[in-house]
Amino acid sequence: MSTKTLLITGGAGFIGSHTVRLFVNKYPNYRIVNIDNLTYAGNLENLKDVESKENYKFIKGDIKDTNLLEKLFSEYKFEGIIHLAAESHVDRSISGPMEFITTNIIGTVALLNVAKKHWEGEYSGKLFYHISTDEVYGSLDDKGKFTETTPYNPRSPYSASKASSDHLVRAYHYTYGLPIIISNCSNNHGPNQFPEKLIPLAINNIKNNKPIPVYGKGENIRDWLYVYDHADAIDLIYHKGRIGETYNVGGDNEWKNIDLIRLLCRIMDKKLNRNPGDSEKLITFVKDRAGHDKRYAIDFSKLKKELGWGPSVDFKTGLEKTVDWYLSNSSWLTSVCSGEYQKYYDRQYLKR
């Protein structure tokens, strides 16, 4: 087994923590350095089970901090980067876009510059792997799916900032020869997702008998994937993906928001020993999100054909596991739903 030192950015967040855990446990010969500046979405609790492993190191720091990145590259001589650090919530990008521009665009360029400087002339064996979203492709009507060649058409400040970072990553490949791969994934669900996103927010509200806010008529469609399957895809793409390529990752699992919430309500009624239909009474239609993308759907046939990847868990099983995790980790939920979260929640939903 070869030895490598990898930098994972945003490893204290939702998908990042599952990626860090997978790499630390599966590759004891790798040294995994996780840089995360612990925004509201970053939480070291997510990595408690790996924090004392010898091949793991956490650095609290900002990806925009070039001096720190320089120091880390000199010290650790990274051979690979898996870049997940980002501002990731569409609603926050609507009320405050600037943070998305600085972290998602400028932060990514800061990383690209330092990687280029330290790797130039010795690109062999190096990889800058950028994790992105299907939202860069825009919004679909009823038919069709996003492929890797679908033209970019981002429509929220979040997706525009991610699209911009994708373009810059590709530009560093074409202009400077930097070895890069990009993957664009659909909506994830699973343990440790901050309860501002639809599924954990709904679970938390159902549990606490609070209204479940459904935007518009609940007819928007998302393609859902269990986060462990995304982490597996990241592992596979990092090791077997072709340099310069883009891979779409998805669940082949489209749900209208309202149907998904109803399914979640049925699962929660059972788990909480409530009468069938009790949780559905909490569904509350609220003002729609500005510029709300209608439908996302991912064609991941390239990843399937080239690397043999596909989702391993069927959606209902995965969703039950997600619910079980939140119900048996109430202290995690309570601790992330602190004063700051409450202020965000009131700003976001009381006006609707």
Separation between Cα atoms, residue 90 and residue 42, nearest integer Å: 17
Is-catalytic flag, 134? yes
In the complex with ligand NAD, which residue's Cβ is closer, 13 or 191?
Answer: 13
Residues 215-254 binding ligand TYD (CB under 6 A) are 215, 220, 222
Residue from 34, 39, 220, 253 in contact with ligand NAD (CB under 6 A): 39
Separation between Cα atoms, residue 179 and residue 58, nearest integer Å: 25
Contact call for residue 194 and ligand NAD (CB under 6 A)? yes
Query: In this structure, are residues 134 and 159 in contact, taking their beta carbons and an 8 Å threshold?
Result: no
DSSP per residue, 258-279: HHHHHHHHHHHHHHTTPPTTTG
Q: Of the candidates 146, 140, 126, 6, which has an alpha carbon nearest to the alpha carbon of residue 76? A: 6
C-alpha radius of gyration, the chain, whole number: 20
Residue in 134, 166, 229, 293 annotated catalytic? 134
Contact call for residue 295 and ligand TYD (CB under 6 A)? no
Contact call for residue 191 and ligand TYD (CB under 6 A)? no
In this structure, what token pair is assigned to residue 75? 């010290």
Q: Of the candidates 134, 23, 7, which has an alpha carbon nearest to the alpha carbon of residue 63? A: 7
In this structure, what token pair is assigned to residue 264? 């979640």
Residue in 36, 87, 135, 196 annotated catalytic? 135
Is-catalytic flag, 324? no
- Give φ, ψ of 144 to 5 degrees: 85, 165
What does 169 interact with, of ligand TYD, ligand NAD, none (CB < 5 to 8 A by kind)?
none
In the complex with ligand TYD, which residue's Cβ is closer, 178 or 198?
Answer: 198
Is-catalytic flag, 65? no
| Minimum CB distance to ligand NAD, residue 111 (Å) | 9
- List residues near ligand NAD by CB under 6 A: 9-10, 12-16, 35-39, 41-42, 62-64, 84-88, 103, 107, 131, 133, 162, 185, 187-188, 194
Q: List residues near ligand TYD by CB under 6 A.
A: 90, 187, 197-198, 201, 213-215, 220, 222, 257, 289
